[in-house]
Amino acid sequence: MSRRRTLSPKKKLALLVSAVAVAGGGAFALAATSDAANVQNASDSTVCQGLATALGNNESFIAAQKAAPDAQSAARIANREAVVAEIRRKQEASGCQVGESVQPGGSAQAGGGAQAGGSAQDPQGSQAATSTPATTAPAGNAGSATGQQVCKGSAVTLSGESGAPAASSDQFPSGTRLKVTNLDNNKSTTVTVTSVSGSCVLLNNAAFEQVREPSKFLIRRALIEKVG
């Protein structure tokens, strides 16, 4: 005579909880895999490339300041570290690989760290830099007015700094006036260099907004002119 073994209510409950936990874990793993698959990098997204380039420029600038410090290096580094933090937040919000950076010269790396602050001379981002509002140049004649063309072939991205429209540069001293024209939409802005960076010209957030194309953080076809 066979005897059927039955489970107690407590054992049934334990088995049910285990099954739910396993199912939940599988769903979590699938969600995590899906999120990872949706992350983009500089090689397949212009937005991510622009942010990675901005991050790389700021990281290179920090490294250079640490390698050859002067009396102002600590303030500059603190400002740029805040800029790096902001760029990383933008990468996350844009679905980009957080921390990916493109170093000057074009090599991509997956690490990084800076935001919003002002220039090295004005760490709080309150500089009263003068700026000419963005203008739209006649088609086929963008930026033709005016100054000496510099930094030929350079792409332009943002530094991540806040404050009034301004620029930073590793070639031009503070006070230099530069006109930057985005040849893809014929918008231009004239800004004053207020700080040092690791690139020919980086526009801060306000200046970049004046000439950018929607949802892009990199200007591939830029005309840069020294006008003062």
Answer with the residue of higher pLDDT: 73 or 3: 73
Overall average pLDDT of the 205-221 stretch: 91
Residue with tokens 């072939």: 153
Lowest mean pLDDT among 34-38, 129-133, 162-166: 129-133
CA distance 110 to 99: 6
State yes or no: pLDDT of 184 exceeds 90.
yes
Burial class (CB in 10 A: 0-12, 13-18, 19+), 8: exposed
Residue 175 tokens read as 């006070």
* CB contact set of 195 (below 8 Å; sequence gap of 6+): 76, 118, 119, 120, 121, 122, 161, 166, 168, 174
User: What's the pLDDT score for residue 6?
Assistant: 61
Report the share of the chain in percent with pLDDT over 70: 65
State yes or no: pLDDT of 211 exceeds 60.
yes
CA distance 59 to 94: 20
Report the share of the chain in percent with pLDDT over 90: 27
pLDDT tier for residue 194 given thresholds of 50, 70 and 90: very high
User: What's the pLDDT score for residue 10?
Assistant: 60
Lowest mean pLDDT among 124-128, 141-145, 191-195: 124-128
Lowest mean pLDDT among 15-19, 38-42, 93-97, 159-163: 15-19
pTM: 0.57
Overall average pLDDT of the 91-116 stretch: 69
User: What's the pLDDT score for residue 106?
Assistant: 58
Answer with the residue of higher pLDDT: 130 or 184: 184
User: What's the pLDDT score for residue 170?
Assistant: 87
Average pLDDT, the chain: 75
